Amino acid sequence: MSDDYYASRGRQVPRGRLSRFGQFGRLAGGVAGGMMAEGVRRLAAGERPRMRDMLLTPGNMGTMVDRLSHLRGAAMKLGQMISMDAGDMLPAELTQIMGRLREDAHHMPPAQLKQVLAQHWGKDWRTRFEHFEPHPMAAASIGQVHRAISRDGRELAIKVQYPGVRESIDADVDNVATLLRISGLLPRELEIAPLLAEAKRQLAEEADYEREGAQMVLFGELLADAPDMVVPQLEREFTTDRVLAMSFVAGQPVETLESAPQAVRDKTMALLIDLVLRELFEFGVMQTDPNFANYRYQPDTGRLVLLDFGAARTVNPATVQGYRRLLQAGLAGQRDEIREAAVAAGFVSSAAVARHGTRINRMTDVILGELNRPGPFDFADRRFVGALREEGMDIAADKESWHLPPVDVLFVLRKISGTALLAARLKARVDVRSMVEQRLNLPSSGLGLARNASI
């Protein structure tokens, strides 16, 4: 392994609890200083500054992104989840800045990488490879990925976990939650303890690479009948709980399809949407992280490469039934049944329905109108999002209506919303209705239900 290593993005990962806590302290201090400066600037301009306006400045968000990228691990992962899950609900500037967390990670410097690999493979690990590429081809929140060629000629992708990530999960999650509380972005009245506990559990699972390897094998078996999907093969010889080895599968970032012909974009998103439906209603297992980096596209074969199965999890049968009932009611255009199903599944609270029934009905009508529109759904047409945002913000402003859905519902919703976000970016057109009907084993209802959109 050469020491002539690409170092411009190399940055030592803080390992100990104290060093990571110090990074959070510097982050809080930097943001507080930025808020004070912004407050003074607004006061001098004759404005009455609001907490949110002082916090969400490019400077402050840049500070948060830089520090979270440095910490990596659970801290960065939670930042990615916030930026992905909020979707159209975040201010445009914040969405753009937080989006950097999905594509702008630092990697380990060479000395730290060598130390980690020696710990898991032994000091003579270099002798097991014909070549090991020192510069990672990808760096994310929990680990970085290297290409390698084994002594017998196998081309491999090796994911190496950052040191200290697993040990820091609980503290990182608590620290990020504290920052959100202090910032005012997280309502104090909202009980998030169950969500934090689940986040810790899932992040611990994602940090277990032997578990991820088993999930990758499982998905390879589940998708054996899907010739348009490719899942890498696990290389057990080189895999440990913190180093994951798999066959290298070539592909280009799925976002590059933005300039592809419409038919290619439509087919790609149809494959991904059908995958979500199969995970939910057929497999009972779902890869719940919809990060765009987890999908690659092979232009020569038209196949999709699926990566990163750390967030794969069993879906609670009650959650499956909740989504089934909700979709069935939507396809039938039954607004009252949709509302009842949403409350039963935990999407909304009965208090929100009682206090904002008219707004919820209007939001339901918007969704029904889109769901029952004849022909393929055009994900590039985002006009309906504004109507939903306006009604949703009014409901969210009422503290008595605040409600946290069950964590299992949230993780499935995260996969669905992230897939829709990618479809919007690719401006895909997909006949989602017929796909849902097929996976729910419902008879195709044609255009007749469109008349029920405004029930």
**390-406: pLDDT as tens digits:** 777 777 777 777 777 88
Q: How confident is the model at residue 83 (pLDDT cuts 50, 70, 90)?
A: very low
The CB density around residue 208, as the number of other CB atoms within 10 Å, is: 17
Residue from 316, 320, 362, 373 nearest 339 by CA:
362
Residue 185 scores a pLDDT above 90: no
Q: Which domain holds residue 420?
A: 251-455
**220, 231 contact by CB (below 8 A):** yes
What is the pLDDT, as a whole number, of residue 447? 37
Tokens of 174: 């608590």
The mean pLDDT value for 427-453 works out to 71
Q: Give the C-alpha distances (Å, rounded to integers) separating 106 from 127, 162, 300, 361, 419.
A: 27, 11, 31, 46, 26
Would residue 54 count as lying in a domain?
no
Confirm whether 144 is domain-assigned. no
Q: State yes or no: pLDDT of 268 exceeds 90.
A: yes
Q: Does the residue 76 lie in any domain? A: no
Whether the CB-CB separation of 329 and 344 falls below 8 Å is answered with no
The one catalytic residue in 266, 289, 308, 408 is 289
Nearest to 65 by CA among 51, 50, 82, 52: 82
* Confidence tier at 67 by pLDDT (50, 70, 90): low
Residue 145 pLDDT grade (very low, low, confident, very high; cuts 50, 70, 90): very high
Condensed to tens digits (0 to 9), the pLDDT of residues 354-371 reads 888 898 888 888 888 887
The predicted pLDDT at position 314 comes to 95
Question: Does residue 301 fall inside a structural domain?
Answer: yes
Q: Give me the pLDDT at residue 170, please.
A: 81
Statement: residue 302 has pLDDT above 70: yes
Using alpha carbons, select from 371, 410, 375 the residue that is nearest to residue 388: 371
Is-catalytic flag, 289?
Answer: yes
Packed helices 193-206 and 73-86: angle between N→C axes, nearest 10 degrees? 120
Segment 247-268 shows an average pLDDT of: 96
Please indicate, yes or no, if residue 93 is contained in any of the structural domains: no
pLDDT digits (tens, 9 = 90+) for 38-55: 443 444 455 544 444 545
Flag whether pLDDT at 209 surpasses 80: yes
Q: Which of these, 391, 379, 390, lies nearest to 431 by C-alpha position?
A: 379
Low-confidence winner among 94-103, 191-200, 350-359, 380-389 (lowest mean pLDDT)? 94-103
- 86 or 444, which is more confident? 444
Q: Using CB atoms within 10 A of its CB, is residue 1 exposed (0-12), middle (13-18) or buried (19+)?
A: middle
Average pLDDT, the chain: 78
Number of folded domains that form the chain: 1
Examine residue 215 and state whether it is found in any structural domain, yes or no.
no
Is there a contact between 325 and 340 (Cβ–Cβ < 8 Å)?
no
Please indicate, yes or no, if residue 341 is contained in any of the structural domains: yes
218 within domain boundaries:
no
pTM of the model: 0.78
Q: What percent of the chain has pLDDT over 90?
A: 42
Is it the case that residue 132 has pLDDT exceeding 90?
Answer: yes
